[in-house]
Amino acid sequence: MSDPISDPDAPLPELRFLKWLVTALAVTMIAGLLTIVTLLVIRFNQPSENKLTLPETISLPEGTKAASVTMQPDRIIVVTEDGRVLVYSVSGRLTGQTRLSAP
């Protein structure tokens, strides 16, 4: 082994180990990224068990506009701009309603 002071181009043993560590870290990061991408692709290609079906039409009462719609497997909930909550069956039939009160 040459003296690092007399030969400035000679690699230091500590730097060889550091170079090996950086290379191992890069390989580990690339393998981790490939694993994450592979798992995401596999996960997004699986069919969903909770497929929700929409009815052909939902009739809102006259003069109301929907502010938000929430779907559950057995019902559809519509909140209107005038503060009413309308509950529909999955077939589109109105099954209940209530009015929201201001706090």
- Residues 69-78 have pLDDT tens digits of 998 888 999 9
Q: Where are the domains of the chain?
A: 1-46, 52-103
> Does pLDDT of 85 surpass 90?
yes
CATH architecture of the domain with range 52-103 = Beta Barrel (2.40)
Q: How many residues does the chain have?
A: 103
Contact 97, 76 (CB under 8 A): no
> Does pLDDT of 51 surpass 80?
no
> Does pLDDT of 14 surpass 60?
yes
How far from the centroid of its chain's Cα atoms is residue 88's Cα?
28
Tell me what pLDDT residue 3 has.
57
